[in-house]
Amino acid sequence: MPTKILSQHLGQGNKAIIKAAFIGAPLPLCSCGVIPVATELRRSGASAPATSAFLVATPETGVDSVSVSYALLGPVLAIYRPVTAILSAIFTGMIVATTKDTFAENKTNNTKNKPTSCCVSKAVAIEPEPEKVISACCASKTKVVKQTFMAKTLMGVRYSATQLIDDLVRWLLLGLLFATAVRTFVPTSFLLSYGSGLTAMLVMIAMSIPMYICATASTPIAAGFIMAGISPGTALVFMMAGPATNISTLGVIKSEMGGSVLIKYLLGISISAITFGLILDWGLVYFMIDISQQMQHSHELLPFWFGLTCVVILVFLAVKPLRKLLI
């Protein structure tokens, strides 16, 4: 999806915030992968609230993280998680909208008299259009390469079999080890006392904000938290705050949109994560839903031979020397 098309719909107003949340939610971009896209949107004319909403919704969920959530956490969180990501993005964008957007104007004035050059060397852009040549401002040529449906499909399969696996496997292993260690050495009574509620969620917020982790990779860690005895609502706080905030993202927000936007960005994420976490815990108790039981029995949804085949494929792709023999 070209950045220019996105920037046309992410200008001023509440509609732009809502559009940014819905556009960003399905995109499979990680916490750092979303930064250059959001920066380009901002510099192409997107408002600070819309950019903030995009920065929240995109790393918090995606088509890949929803499927992993269904496999590891069950259907309830697989549905609840993307809904909360979109709503928290809209809420954060609305809070940022209360800030007067003068930072971009000052930045523009500071760079107004600097010399610029439009001369560029040859560049290659990939779009699903017939091959053509476009003249640039200094007589250089931009070649648009036709990309077929099959080429896009193969690119997606390669991404899921390489980069996505590399991002997921280490955290899956860490989550399982964490759950095993906690269940073995930490008393259950301790987890039941401090594994839920507002205090536990505030601690999770403080731990998640500086952490770099994407939505897909945060899912196994959250599963480990729940298996260890922490409430699903507290684990949800981790899955919302972790991907949406990290040191790189916060630095870019301050640089591109100012310190006041950064403070309201963190405030919006924190309030929405804790609120939706508390609602989730209350709803599970009210409707008598046991998330941990859904996680334990999710393997019964698939035939044994199919699950075993998937395990073999996962192990093969996770071991890079073996994977490079085929991919």
Residue-averaged pLDDT of the chain: 79
Q: Which of 195, 268, 176 is nearest to 236 (CA)?
A: 195
Q: Report which residue type is found at 282.
A: W
CA angle 66–71–76, rounded 5-degree value: 65
Q: What is the pTM of this model?
A: 0.72
Return the pLDDT at 100: 76
Question: Between 239 and 167, whose confidence is greater?
Answer: 239
- Its sign, for the CA torsion 106, 110, 113, 119, is negative
Share of the chain above pLDDT 90, in %: 28
Return the pLDDT at 301: 61
Q: How many CB atoms lie within 10 A of CB 253?
A: 27
Side-chain half-sphere exposure of 12, counting CA atoms within 13 A:
4
Residues 273-301: tens digit of each pLDDT: 999 999 999 999 999 998 888 776 554 56
Q: Report which residue type is found at 312.
A: V
